[in-house]
Amino acid sequence: MNEKITKPLQYFIFGTSFLLSLYIFLMGITTGSFEAVVEQFVLYKFWILALSFGFGVQFALYGLIKAKHMETPTTGKVAKATGIISAATMAACCIHHAVDILPIIGISALASFLGVYTKELFFVGIIFNLAGIGYMLKQYAKI
């Protein structure tokens, strides 16, 4: 297969897998149950997959831009910022399941907020993903 296809595909798979792995890891830690991980994935699969695929696309575009040695200072910053937002959104989705331990550390209100607004948080994360993809496509078009 052509490297022009395989390299971005590898970046996409890595980025997507990273965010999905983060979801599984955080849900596993906060719920302590594989069944709960699967149950929550089924409940939020559209949001989780959209966020993960969007991050994968951004990662692939960043890889393409970097491979062409056309990375600008803002391209790297946008990739990092939207990546952090994607990871934080995924973490916010999972962290409200730690309700049992959060009162101990004094942030039970945060857990309640995250539990109520899970879909909205995913939506915001996906919007940032789309903005990052748009920006990187614009940068790639300049190459």
Look at residue 122 in the predicted model and tell me its pLDDT: 83
Residue with tokens 């970046």: 11
Look at residue 42 in the predicted model and tell me its pLDDT: 93
Look at residue 40 in the predicted model and tell me its pLDDT: 87
Look at residue 12 in the predicted model and tell me its pLDDT: 94
Find how far residue 71's CA is from the centre of its chain.
Answer: 22
Rounded to whole angstroms, the Cα distance separating 127 from 122 reads: 9
Look at residue 125 in the predicted model and tell me its pLDDT: 84
Residue with tokens 């907020």: 113
Rounded to whole angstroms, the Cα distance separating 72 from 89 reads: 26
71-101: pLDDT as tens digits = 566 767 777 777 777 777 766 666 555 555 5
5-64: pLDDT as tens digits = 788 899 999 999 999 998 888 888 877 888 988 998 998 899 999 989 998 998 898 888
Look at residue 110 in the predicted model and tell me its pLDDT: 56
Look at residue 73 in the predicted model and tell me its pLDDT: 66
pLDDT at 116 over 70: no
pLDDT at 103 over 70: no
Domain residue limits, the chain: 3-141
